[in-house]
Amino acid sequence: MHALPADSSDCSTNWLSVGRAGLLLIAAAAGCAGPAIRSQSPELEALAQVESATQLVGDFTSPWGLGNQRIERAALVTGLPDSGSDPPPDPRRQMLLEEMQARGVIEPNRLLASRSTALVWVSGNLHPGIRKGDRFDVFVEVPPGHDTTSLATGWLMETRLVEMKVLGNRIRDGHTLGIAEGPLLVDPVSGGTRDSVATLRGRVPGGGVALTSRSIGLAINPEHRSVGLSKRIGDCINRRFHAIVRGVKRGVATPKTDRFIELEIPEVYRNNLARYLSVVRSLAVAEPAGNRHARLELLGRRLADPVTAPRAALRLEAIGKEGIGVLREGLESKDAEVRFVSAEALAYLGESLAATTLADAARDLRSARPKALAALAIVDDANGIDALRSLLPSRSAETRYGAFRGLAMIDPRLPDIRGEMLADVCRFHVLDVRGEPLIHATRAARAEIVLFGTAHPLDDGLRAEAGPAIVVVVDGDEATVSCFRPGEPDQQETVSPQVEPILRQIVEFGGTYPDLVQFLQQATAQRKLDSRLAFDAIPTEFDGRLSVHREAAEQSRQVETDDTETDDTETDAVDDGDDPDDRPSGLWPALLDTARLEFGS
């Protein structure tokens, strides 16, 4: 760590001599060959001295506010087909009774005793940077010791979610930070049976609404705390980053105290907070005059080396427009990792020429796919749109769906991806694209079904349920959708045995999103649906995939081997494949952060 000089004019004078010395050595050693960083080179030693003398925001601060905030409460699920139970007398029941009485519910104990209701524990996470009014996923489970047998077909009644803490050996409620409500999506096991544990858990995709916003920022390290330093770091950040706050463009940093600087989030980084903070912490707090050229020279050399390229790209992105030329040179590298990190940084600097390189990375490097798709989603011009469209026919489900989400973030009204709401049940999109027929459904953040391809036929002999009241039967070239509800006339319609008209008819008969998901799962389990069915195919960096560096190195070695074995004969282009790791694991994947989905990594 370096102590920041109290007087910035003094530090500029002292460091100016270092910058001039470095530049003189650069001129003297201009004939030095090769981009590699070699300690014995006086030129590069001088460049490294210039970089080490430059103090960065990260030398004085640490990220703050990056953890999720859990909010929860006891709640009531209704609409159960005789599978609920009267909850035992415990603190959860008392909590729910108090809530029901506060809402004016008449005879709450009688309602709790009904077999059509169940007490559940509801939880959600407010992710970093969430804004008031944003939606988040809600998770529901039956507490241990209750007699409820299934939550299928249930509806979560409106619930006020709070943060809870243990104070003085008692659980205390905080302020209401979110509300939750909606139909429960309970995951059935293939084959038509239901797992006894799985049916006691469920979620409401996007069923929570945040009632507060969560800030992120920088905590100034204890040994550097001062009002002057806090202001200086804030000014440094505001020279580089701006955001629109209440319709007014202003700097993103607000020094609150000598310990904390609050940060607004520029829209371009809205879905990649980790990168935003990494770039902010790579800003030079008080770069001396004359050092910029020397730093760019050094960072350019480091960018050319795959080992040091990722950090160099971040620092060039932090420099801003002056770093664009160096990053463009990185696009011409023979190394896939160097090309990728250069393209990623250029995308966040608004340079759409990086789009083709990012699309190549998303297609060919599984390790780079999450970051590449996230970066493409902010390239909102023709280059970015064309690059994402080129990925829609890919074999990989996560590449195809990631490309769709990227296009939807750029402009949801684009003709080739524009969808519709099916009676307020879910978003529905039919994409006329080449490639393997794919059906994608979400179980996090939002209720949405996307059909890749227009034809998704169902085979003869299918008999599948869509909730407790709707049955679909395929007989030859006809599909019959029937609805049987107690106290109502039976309904029946015949449609084409294709997924799209059947889903529409289920909704027409009052089916919910969980009903649509159940139908698709049963059709797949019975092997009557040839199209691939995928859930939550959202690529993340934390699912066990290789590092970009390792995968790029392995591909490079493979190319060299192939060139040797084939004696320069032509080989097939690299395919993004559809290896088993690309498929979501199990029917009920782990929680996907809403921030990642919106997007995405």
Closest CA to 124 of 217, 211, 216: 211
Q: Is the pLDDT of residue 325 over 90?
A: yes
d(CA 115, CA 181): 20
Read off the amino acid at residue 593.
D
pLDDT of residue 292: 86
Answer with the residue of higher pLDDT: 51 or 389.
389
Q: Is the pLDDT of residue 510 over 80?
A: yes
Which residues have C-beta within 8 Å of that of residue 557, sequence separation ≥ 6? none
pLDDT in tens, 231-260: 999 999 999 999 887 788 899 999 999 999
Residue 34 pLDDT grade (very low, low, confident, very high; cuts 50, 70, 90): very low
| Mean pLDDT value of segment 58-73 | 95
pLDDT of residue 372: 96
Tokens of 225: 């705390």
- Among 43-47, 162-166, 516-520, 590-594, the range scoring the smallest mean pLDDT is 590-594
Q: Where are the alpha helices (DSSP H) in 455-512?
A: 499-508
pLDDT of residue 56: 94
Answer with the residue of higher pLDDT: 553 or 57.
57
pLDDT in tens, 353-406: 999 999 999 999 999 999 999 999 999 999 999 999 999 999 999 999 999 999
Phi, psi of 170 (to 5 degrees): -130, 150
pLDDT of residue 11: 35
pLDDT of residue 320: 95
Q: Is the pLDDT of residue 557 over 80?
A: no
Give the strand order in the sheet containing 61-64: 61-64, 216-220, 260-263, 253-255
Answer with the residue of higher pLDDT: 579 or 554.
554
Residue 591 in contact with residue 139, Cβ under 8 Å?
Answer: yes
pLDDT of residue 169: 65
Closest CA to 465 of 188, 156, 154, 84: 188
- Among 9-23, 514-528, 561-575, the range scoring the smallest mean pLDDT is 9-23
Prediction pTM value:
0.80
Tokens of 572: 């097939």
Mean pLDDT of the chain: 84
Question: Angle CA(354)–CA(359)–CA(364) in degrees, nearest 5?
Answer: 130
Q: What is the dihedral of CA 496, 183, 179, 137, to 10 degrees?
A: -70
Closest CA to 185 of 401, 467, 600: 467
Tokens of 399: 């590449």
As separate numbers, helices (DSSP H) first and strands (DSSP E) second, the chain gives: 18, 21
pLDDT in tens, 406-444: 999 999 999 999 999 999 899 999 999 999 999 999 988
pLDDT of residue 549: 78
